[in-house]
A = this chain, B = another copy of it.
Amino acid sequence: METTTIESSEVKTAIARLREKAPFVYGLTNYVAANLSANVLLALGAGPAIGSAPGWAAAFPAGAGAVWINGAALMSSVTPDELDEAAATAHKAGTPWVLDPVAIGAGASEYDAILASLLKYKPAIIRGNASEIAALSGGAGGSGVDSTLDSSEVIDTVKDLARRLDAVVAVSGEVDYLCDPAGRATAVPGGDAKMPQVTGTGCSLGALSAAFCAVVDPFTAAATAHAAFATAGKRAGERATGTASFAIAFVDELSLL
């Protein structure tokens, strides 16, 4: 399998284009990860707006360069109707959007069904941890928001889902794996063991994948976002002692890419 790193020329080009174009990116996400997600996007030059104040979900996806929808927005005063409206508006306007089905398969079937219903609006990218990708594919999920599987255990599921859903599918883990509908796949090594000890890193990766969709194709967008995270995580891990200083160093490193 191909490997993507921060040194890949496509990655360098995508990062440069994001800083140059500074696209407006709209997100529906949860309040645990919203602040970090916004700061991650700002660190790389995108201009995020988050949430569903009256009229936003109907208006903003059409004007945005890209949209991300994190399922746990449903816990942050976003209604199922607003989630549907945002995805439908993005789809209709031709705005690429990312689905992050956080905690799908963890035991709340009502929640899971709402997320699955968004697939008809054709997300450009779907990202999650191994348990979430497995659950989306019909398997068992994890506990809460954490994975009980390793990313390497679901590579075949990723390929199958990408083809079935006609989307780029990305799974996070010690090594990240991405696949597009045509079967092109890449592995993204790197990161740091402290990364899962910072809340919202996975959610922010979904947001950043969307931001890159505003300037490059979805496969390159997802690969670039994952490579940026892997590199910033690795560099932050080399100089941080605890988990909070790691989080600060991580966003600093993103802003310095």
Contacts and interface: CB of A to CB of B under 8 A. Distances in A.
A30 interface: yes
A116 interface: no
B199 A24 contact: no
Contacts of A36: 35
A213 interface: no
Contacts of A143: 24, 47, 63
B74 A54 contact: yes
A198 interface: yes
A48 interface: yes
B42 A144 contact: no
Contact of A76 (B51, B55, B103): B51
Interface string A55-84: 110111001100000011011110010000
A38 B72 CA distance: 15
Contacts of A146: 24, 47, 49
Contacts of A152: none
Give chain A's interface residue range (CB within 8 Å of chain B): 35 or more
A53 B73 CA distance: 8
A71 B109 CA distance: 26
Number of copies: 3
Given A55-B109, A199-B39, A245 B252 contact: yes
Nearest to A56: B108
Contacts of A252: 241-245
Contacts of A254: 242
Interface string A216-229: 00000000000000
Given A64-B144, A144-B64, A53 B71 contact: yes
Given A109-B55, A241-B256, A198 B42 contact: yes
Given A35-B200, A39-B244, A244-B255, 9 more contacts: A31-B32, A31-B35, A31-B51, A47-B146, A53-B108, A54-B111, A60-B106, A77-B77, A245-B248
Interface of A: 24, 26, 30-36, 38-39, 42-43, 47-56, 58-60, 63-64, 71-72, 74-77, 80, 103, 106-111, 114, 143-146, 196-200, 241-245, 247-256
